[in-house]
Amino acid sequence: MSKKSKTVVLEHEEADQAVHQHPRKIKTKEYESELARLQSELVKLQEWVRREKLKVCVLFEGRDAAGKGGVIKRIAERTNPRVLRVAALSAPTERERTQWYFQRYVSELPAGGEIVLFDRSWYNRAGVERVMGFCTDEEYAEFLRAVPEFERMLQHSGIILIKYWFSISDAEQERRFLGRTRNAEKRWKLSPMDLESRAHWADYSRAKDEMFARTDTTWSPWWVVPSDDKKRARLNCISHLLSMIPYEDVSGEELELPPRQEDDYTRPPMSEQNFVPEHLS
């Protein structure tokens, strides 16, 4: 590597670290307390969305191991799956490959009173499909031309569209990848495509930059979440999501249980039923 090339790499790494540096690590107790508060607010948001028949669509994109799944899990874990659901589409089938590109995503869009979190989205075409050659140059160019119009159309239909990009530094991504290779319980998170992406790091970077240049619009902007610090990224993203949708607490008063029915019913003998054995004695 030439001296000039080494200088460029060092400047990139220094800028990368500066973006992802945080003033301090959040203590676990502080994180858990604030996460619980934010999750309580998410339940209030959920009830407001359901009452007002709002349609909320949130996209989560970013590099592999950037922490998208962890944020989605924390958003969804205390909410009602009938109101808030996660859309994580697998690779398209042969039939889907012949459809209008956005077609299979349209079927996952929210109806009134629903929130849909897309764990990756139609932006697959601007990322993995572009880099790995799963689409033609013509298909890629048409996507970049069409997607701003598509998103404007969604918003004109009443959908609240929010797009997040999770940004992770090279060093932290490498650390997480190594952690997954060494931990059998996490190894499933590394797909063959994730491993292949390491050989195309610069290609993915260029693809992301071009995607932002063409799709970071005034009516549908990208919101970047620095995610080297997982705890901070989760709190920042959830807090921002709550700020994007004005809502009120419509949970109402505590529910009062009705009296239980009085009857002479008796349960059948326990000996007639099959019970799961005790795991710990």
Average pLDDT across the chain, whole number: 90
Superfamily designation of domain 25-246: P-loop containing nucleotide triphosphate hydrolases (3.40.50.300)
CB-based contact 193:128 (threshold 8 Å): yes
Tokens coding 274: 């099959």
Q: What residue spans define the domains of the chain?
A: 25-246
Q: Could you report the per-residue pLDDT of 197-228, keeping only the tens digit for each?
A: 778 889 999 999 999 999 999 999 999 999 99
> DSSP secondary-structure letter at 144?
H
pLDDT, mean of residues 248-256? 87
The amino acid that residue 117 corresponds to is L
Rank 3-7, 160-164, 192-196 by mean pLDDT and report only the highest: 160-164
State the residue for tokens 């996460």: 35
pLDDT tens for residues 34-45? 999 999 999 999
For 120-141, write each residue's pLDDT tens digit. 999 999 999 999 999 999 999 9
Give the model's pLDDT for residue 17.
53
Name the nearest CA neighbour of 181 among 191, 171, 193.
191
Contact 193, 253 (CB under 8 A): no
Q: What is the distance between the terminal CA atoms of the chain, rounded to a whole angstrom?
A: 63
pLDDT at res. 22: 60
Least confidently predicted of 21-35, 183-197, 226-240, 267-281: 183-197
CB 220 within 8 A of CB 148: yes
For 165, the 3-state DSSP assignment is strand
Please give the pLDDT value at position 75.
98
